[in-house]
Amino acid sequence: MINTNKINEKSKSKIGLEKHPCFNREAAKNFGRVHLPVAASCNISCNYCHRDYDCPNESRPGVTSKLISPEEAVERIWEIKKIFENISVAAIAGPGDSLSEPEVTLKTFELIKKEFPEIIPCMSTNGLNLINNLGELKNAGVKFITVTLNAVNAQIASKIYRYVKYKGVIYTEKDAAKLLLENQIKGICAAVKNGFKVKINSVLIPGINDFHIKELSEYVKKSGVYMFNVMPMIPAEKSYFYKIGIKGAERKDVAAVTKGLKDINIMGHCRQCRSDAAGLLSKDLSYMLNETANGAETEDRHIFFRGH
């Protein structure tokens, strides 16, 4: 395990690592994040996903967040700060992919930079369109990026993705996997080189990539990525994997595949939070914001439906 205490205190403070609840377990005790569900569409199709729900790459499967505009995102930050003051991070993590339609995501970050210069902007993505948007993300003040990378082998990746839509062309099978993987690696390398703090999320899929986690971790180590987060797959209802009976993974499966990994900063406190999560990682307050926005709380606090 990398000793994060060794990181120079000054550089920590400059990028905000000391206040990021996901990139720093200690910070999670006091600081919270707010997710801004502005990203509607997705440019790829993962076999464990169904687009009635949030992107399961960083979200709780089966949850549907209400889509909001960039202006409403700013309002959402004001609202959550009234309830929980220690919001240090504002992030975009769905409900689709943050960079499928980058204009909305970039506009949201621009508005945040003007209104809340003290808040750390963070974003997660499948990585297909990362390399094409890094400059704009940097200009918009983004410092923390998470890329979901489920394989570093195109053969394995081709079992995880059904298609990839890129620059107006739809790719399938091995072509889709190869293109996605190439763009993910290019995006990750460039992000690290340009000073972003990068985390890699890998969804653990039994029988598909569980035997591949060690190889993935080797790539993470040599890439200069800051943190590695292995998440158990819970296939969304109606997803391809769900239909063909591929079982999800559990936390104990994650523990088993990450146990022997050395010299790597493994995230052990991820909550697979929803794309509109708000507050401490350990205490989601999004239902309070949703009550305000919707006028009334839905029966199941974890599920409410998109207005589009």
One character per residue 176-215, x = contact with ligand CLF (rule: CB under 6 A): ----------------------------------------
Q: List C-alpha distances in Å: 289 to 67, 73, 75.
A: 13, 12, 10
Beta strand 87-92 pairing with 32-35: parallel
Residue from 272, 276, 284, 288 touching ligand CLF (CB under 6 A): that is: 272
Stretch binding ligand CLF (CB under 6 A), from 126-134, 153-161, 269-277, 295-303: 269-277
How many CB atoms are located within 10 Å of the residue 246 CB?
A: 18
One character per residue 42-61, x = contact with ligand SF4 (rule: CB under 6 A): x-xxx--x-----xxx----
Residues 237-266 that bind ligand CLF (CB under 6 A): none
Under the binding rule (CB under 6 A), the answer on residue 97 touching ligand SF4 is yes
Shortest gap between Cβ of 71 and ligand CLF (angstroms)? 20
Residue 246: both structure tokens together: 């591929």
Stretch binding ligand CLF (CB under 6 A), from 184-192, 214-222, 239-247, 268-276: 268-276
Phi, psi of 230 (to 5 degrees): -95, 125
Under the binding rule (CB under 6 A), the answer on residue 122 touching ligand CLF is yes
Size of the site for ligand SF4 (CB under 6 A): 11
Q: Which is nearer to ligand CLF, 60 or 212 (CB)?
A: 60
Under the binding rule (CB under 6 A), the answer on residue 220 touching ligand CLF is no
One character per residue 145-164, x = contact with ligand CLF (rule: CB under 6 A): -x------------------
Under the binding rule (CB under 6 A), the answer on residue 33 touching ligand CLF is yes
Stretch binding ligand CLF (CB under 6 A), from 86-94, 102-110, 153-161, 293-301: 86-94
* Binding partner of residue 57 among ligand CLF, ligand SF4, none, CB cut-off 5 to 8 Å per kind: ligand SF4
Q: Which is nearer to ligand SF4, 126 or 286 (CB)?
A: 126
Residue 5: both structure tokens together: 């205490």
Crossing angle, helix 70-83 and helix 286-294, to 10 degrees?
120
Shortest gap between Cβ of 209 and ligand SF4 (angstroms)? 14
Query: Where on the chain is the footprint of ligand CLF (CB under 6 A)?
Result: 22, 33, 35, 58, 89, 91, 93, 122, 124, 144, 146, 229, 270-273, 281
Query: Where on the chain is the footprint of ligand SF4 (CB under 6 A)?
Result: 42, 44-46, 49, 55-57, 96-97, 126
